Structure 1
Amino acid sequence: MNITQTVFFDPRGHAASLLNSQRRPLIPAILNPMLVPQFADVKAIYFDLDDTLCTYWDAAKAGLRKAFEDHPEHGQTPERLLQEWAVAFTGFVETIGKTHWYDKYCESGEITRVELMRRMLERVNIFDDELAYRISHTYHVERQAALELFPEALDVIQQLSSVYTLGLITNGPADIQRQEIQKLNIGNYFPHIFIEGEHKIGKPDERIFRMAEAAVSLPPENLLFVGNSYKHDIKPAQTYGWKTAWIRRDSDVAPSSRTGKPEELPEGATPPDLIIFNLQELLSESV
């Protein structure tokens, strides 16, 4: 028997846990009010995309390694280039929103992806824009090929969509996020999709959450956000009055991570309504 642990916080703020055996088919598919009573008020659910529904960082790391292995002419090991890519990535993403690169990033993932590879190569004293482009192209192709839904995601989406209005709020370039949604074949389940690159507003900006509320004509207390990032998903959704479910997966570790572990709840931070380790844990048992 497979056992999963669900960790949640009751309205009084006390942590609790519930062991659930492998679930039977769920009919009907509703959020589990036994875990979080306030979920009974939820009428619409918005999901994050990358590393919530699909294996973004696993796919990205596989794509990076293949790209570095396929271009040995740079004379560097894949391990060294991955380290340098992580450093370049961290510096780039921390400043991109304040520079001219942001508009380019919103419109196309290719422009900033090539620039990131160029900066990585410069860190090992290689100044070759054409090589940066070729490495970037291989990375993109391999990452998209490796991208897939988590095993339980489609079943959960299908069941919840029969009861709740669903939507996506995802950060990233407009073209890349649309390509991911098409590749994963999930667009039909989400009538409301908000992509940072299409609006030039991303999480945790309050405006993107208010736009999502307006799209479903519901107040925040009737909305649930499910995401993998405390900083970009959970904390802002809490601040704006939404219910929150934080999914934590062991695979959710960027190459640039300083700890090599998934994001932790910051000290003193308000916990989400629910912490899960598998999307299936959102659903109630059938009776």
Structure 2
Amino acid sequence: MIRAVLFDLDNTLYDLRAHWIACLRNALANVAAHMRYDLETLVHTALAAKVWIEQLPDFLRAQGIVDQRIIDDAFTRYRDIWFDTLTLDPEAPALLTALGARYRLALVTNGPSWSQRPKIERFNLSLYMHTIIVSEEVGCAKPDPQIFHIALRALAVAPHEAIFVGDSPEHDLHGAAMAGMRAIWVNRHGATLPPDTPQPIAVVEGLHDLAAIIHTCTS
């Protein structure tokens, strides 16, 4: 019997990749104009290099940009727009409300508190979650089974009584399996499941089918 549902945050309860691309376009627009670079090429180079806010100055220097004013302007734009434009998946509030009426809910997210807590507050996730686990605050991160077990203990449920919902094959699917949980894979962008990844019980492109799938697991 399923008694709890645990969620990842990034790319699960909101579309991180789409947000990331939009923020990079905004941050790099002036860079491209000043340096006569192609903006889309610059954006996709940054995506491939996994350039987050703190990596942007070094990334720009690696692209041959030496004007510190241009670097500082891009960094400020990236930092300021990142949190101001975050948008929760519009289907998430109704989903979490419906699931919360039947199951205990938890959020388990990797990352530093300075990055994850503002998102959690902006999305009002404490309204829905019985417990919220941020990796930096507990000293371990997915796929380490320990972080899943911390959440399960807080919910007072056993691994076989819970389902994990997440987007990362490495962190979420592997981690949940090692913790003894079943998982649902949120595959927003048509990724291919890597070999040797534990099979999820379901694959969804977004949140709209999740409630029905989870209810099926309890019947």
Tell me the TM-score normalized by structure 1.
Answer: 0.67
Say if 2:103 is the partner of 1:160.
no
Matched, 1:47 2:2: no
Q: Which residue of 1 aligns with 2:210?
A: 282
> Offset at 1:65?
0.2
- Provide the identity percentage: 29
In 2, Cα distance between the equivalents of 1:140 and 1:162? 37
- Give the counterpart of 1:211 among 143, 150, 171: 150
Aligned equivalent of 1:113? 53
2:113–2:134 Cα contact (<8 Å) kept? yes
Matches within 5 A, 1:226-245: 226-245=165-184
Q: Are the counterparts in 2 of residues 62 and 146 from structure 1 also a CA contact under 8 Å?
A: no
Gaps of at least 5 residues in structure 2 are none
Determine the structure 2 residue equivalent to 1:64: 24
**C-alpha RMSD over aligned residues:** 2.2
1:85 aligns to what?
Answer: 46
Residue in 2 that maps onto 1:197: 136
Residues 133, 214 of structure 1: alpha-carbon distance in 2 compared, 3 angstrom cutoff: farther
1:123-173: CA deviations, max 9, x gaps? 222235554343122113223233212222111001111111111011122
The CA deviation string for residues 218-243 of structure 1, in whole angstroms up to 9 with x for no partner, is 21111110011111111210122112
| Secondary structure at 1:89 match in 2 | coil
Query: How far apart are residue 249 of structure 1 and its match?
Result: 1.3
Whether contact under 8 Å (1:230, 1:263) holds in the other structure is: no
* Distance in structure 1 (CA, Å) of the matches to 2:73 and 2:104: 41
Greater helix content: 2
> Cα distance, 1:281 vs. partner?
1.6
Could you tell me how far 1:268 is from its partner in structure 2? 4.4
1:118 maps to amino acid:
P
Q: Does the CA contact (< 8 Å) of 1:203 and 1:233 recur in 2?
A: yes
Answer whether contact 2:4 2:155 (CA < 8 A) is retained: yes
- Give the count of matched residue pairs: 212
Secondary structure of residue in 1 paired with 2:133:
strand
Q: Provide closer, same or farther for how the CA distance between residues 167 and 89 of structure 1 changes in structure 2, counting only shifts above 3 A.
A: same
